[in-house]
Amino acid sequence: MFRVLVSDAISEEGLAPLRASAHIDIVQKNVSEAEEQLHTFDALLVRSATKVTEELLEKMPNLQIIGRAGVGVDNIDVDAATKRGIVVINAPNGNTISAAEHTFAMMAALVRRIPQAHISVKSREWNRSAFVGNELFGKKLGIIGFGRIGSEVAKRARAFGMSVHVYDPFLTKDRAEKLGVSIHSLDEVLASADIITVHTPLTKETRGLLGTDNLAKTKKGVYLVNCARGGIIDEQALIPFLENGHVAGVALDVFEQEPPGDHPLLSFDNVIVTPHLGASTVEAQLNVATQVAEELLHFFEGRPVTSS
């Protein structure tokens, strides 16, 4: 019998392939609730809330595989897991469309000031002149990081009549042409874009990618969107650019610390926020759960796993 600890909220329907196996025992508890049993599990399934640290791995000597129902593996100490011979798998494309749609929704909400107008009408005001926005049509969208999500955002932007300028060192000319976008250096994207959205992973190279120096290279009145990972835009560096009006507005789904607590960025009227909802759709959660559940089954059956 393989014992699987599911320690975060993961789509029940997606877990069905695991439940169907007579050889798999699933326990749904968070890590503290399962404290006394941690040593008994062969597999751990997480989303974002569980931090899979070296300390946790020490308490799980039987662990063979960790599955993350999402794209990044940044809440997992992959080096510590690898040292112990534990396989780490994820679901790299199950939430791509949801994350791209959320990015687009945030971008549209940002330039039309929808959250601010919503709060105003709910407060029984009717102040049409206070919420004059901008069109997306005809604007230059700068996309930094053109993988699965960045390219889906580009398709939607093209449909809205935007021109798309991309910076991604790994993007080929062929692929760019196929998607109707143009390749540029980072400095060119920074200098030309009306709206910049980031879609890279958070790495040593991308942490603080939009910091003081690069923010200073952007156009006055630029809008910024981060629905990828907190820290790609340096939150502290952003503050003076909002204070002096250089940055017209920011949409954030992700933060350096989640939850962000009483963060100074939350006090700006032109900073709109969501609590890391990019992948929070029924469809994406079913996709990612099904993807990791199937991979886990393959692993237990001794078949190759593909998403690690």
Chain residues that interact with ligand MLT, rule: CB under 6 A? 47-48, 70-72, 95, 278-279
Identify which of 257, 308, 289, 253 has the alpha carbon closest to the alpha carbon of residue 47: 289
Name the residue type at position 161. G
276 is catalytic: yes
Q: Which does 145 bind (CB under 5 to 8 A by kind): ligand MLT, ligand NAD, none?
A: ligand NAD
DSSP 209: S
Query: Contact with ligand NAD (CB under 6 A): which of 41, 104, 167, 223?
Result: 167
CB nearer to ligand MLT: pick between 48 and 270? 48
* Locus of tokens 């002149």: 129
The answer to whether the Cα torsion of 67, 73, 76, 79 is positive or negative is: positive
Encoded tokens for 50: 């569980």
Q: Distance (Å, rounded) from C-alpha 38 to C-alpha 36?
A: 6
Q: Which of 33, 243, 258, 303 is catalytic?
A: 258
Encoded tokens for 36: 């006394």
Q: Distance (Å, rounded) from C-alpha 223 to C-alpha 245?
A: 11
DSSP 130: G
99 lies in the binding site for ligand NAD (CB under 6 A): yes
Q: Which does 167 bind (CB under 5 to 8 A by kind): ligand MLT, ligand NAD, none?
A: ligand NAD
Which listed range, 60-68, 145-153, 175-183, 215-223, lies at the site for ligand NAD (CB under 6 A)?
145-153
CB nearer to ligand NAD: pick between 41 and 96? 96
Asked whether the beta carbons of 151 and 168 are under 8 A apart, the reply is: no
294 is catalytic: no
Q: Which does 272 bind (CB under 5 to 8 A by kind): ligand MLT, ligand NAD, none?
A: none
- Catalytic residue positions? 229, 258, 276
Residues that bind ligand NAD (CB under 6 A): 71-72, 95-96, 99, 144-150, 167-170, 199-202, 205-206, 227-229, 253-254, 276, 278-279
